[in-house]
Amino acid sequence: MILIDLRKHKILILVATVIIIATSSLMSINWVLKVIYPTDYNEIVYKYAYEYDLDPYLVFSIIKAESKFKEEATSKKDAKGLMQIAPITGRWAADVLKIENYNEDMLYVPETNIRMGCWYLSTLKKEFDGNLRNIIAAYNAGSGNVKKWLSDNTYSQNGELVQIPFEETRKYTVKVLTGYKVYKIIYEKNT
């Protein structure tokens, strides 16, 4: 009788140990994923994502793809800051948003850069009727290119891009969409 109780006790200890290890492993995986998919600048991202009716996880995914959260990032095409705002887009955004004494160095300021990036995403969201794939492709290749592709049956069906002719934009769109899904999986369950 005592021997049976000891076996039950050992089984309970074993089950508890397995549960603790499994829980610990899941917490470690979640921690690693949060390191790989950070939410740096979250106060600014949430502020402007909500102001411009965007999902903040999309904004985080774009920042990760564009600059890897490096506010001093500059591309080969001279796009600047966290969301890689091109100089022409920066001037346009500064005019629309009434940013006084605007100069291109302001694109390296996280608050200004994220505000402009969210405004621009919102503009693309309206232009492309909320179609996420088209919005992301336009953020990378420009809305003119995406409109041209949408009017060509080789690349589009029913207002949806089925093929993106620019390899960089094709890879970028997949990268952002994948990142967006991962951000939602990691962080939405915690909200």
Residues 180, 111 share a domain: yes
Range of the structural domain that residue 55 is part of: 39-188
Residues 22, 73 share a domain: no
Residues 70, 23 share a domain: no
Residues 71, 136 share a domain: yes
CATH code at position 118: 1.10.530.10
Residue 51 Cα to chain centre, angstroms: 17
Residues 167, 125 share a domain: yes
Residues 156, 87 share a domain: yes
Residues 24, 45 share a domain: no
How many distinct structural domains can be found in the chain? 2
- Cα radius of gyration rounded to whole Å, the chain: 23
Residues 44, 19 share a domain: no
- Say what the pLDDT of residue 1 is: 44
- Say what the pLDDT of residue 78 is: 97
- Say what the pLDDT of residue 15 is: 57
Residues 6, 70 share a domain: no
User: What is the rounded distance in angstroms from the CA atom of residue 115 to the CA atom of residue 138?
Assistant: 18
* Three state DSSP letters for 97-132: CCCCCCCHHHHHCHHHHHHHHHHHHHHHHHHCCCCH
Residues 133, 184 share a domain: yes
- Say what the pLDDT of residue 2 is: 43
What does the pLDDT profile of the chain (191 residues) look like in tens digits?
444 454 555 665 555 555 655 555 556 677 888 989 999 999 999 999 999 999 999 999 999 999 999 999 999 999 999 999 999 999 999 999 999 999 999 999 999 999 999 999 999 999 999 999 999 999 999 999 999 999 999 999 988 899 999 999 999 999 999 999 999 999 987 54
Residues 69, 8 share a domain: no
- Say what the pLDDT of residue 14 is: 57
Residues 140, 80 share a domain: yes
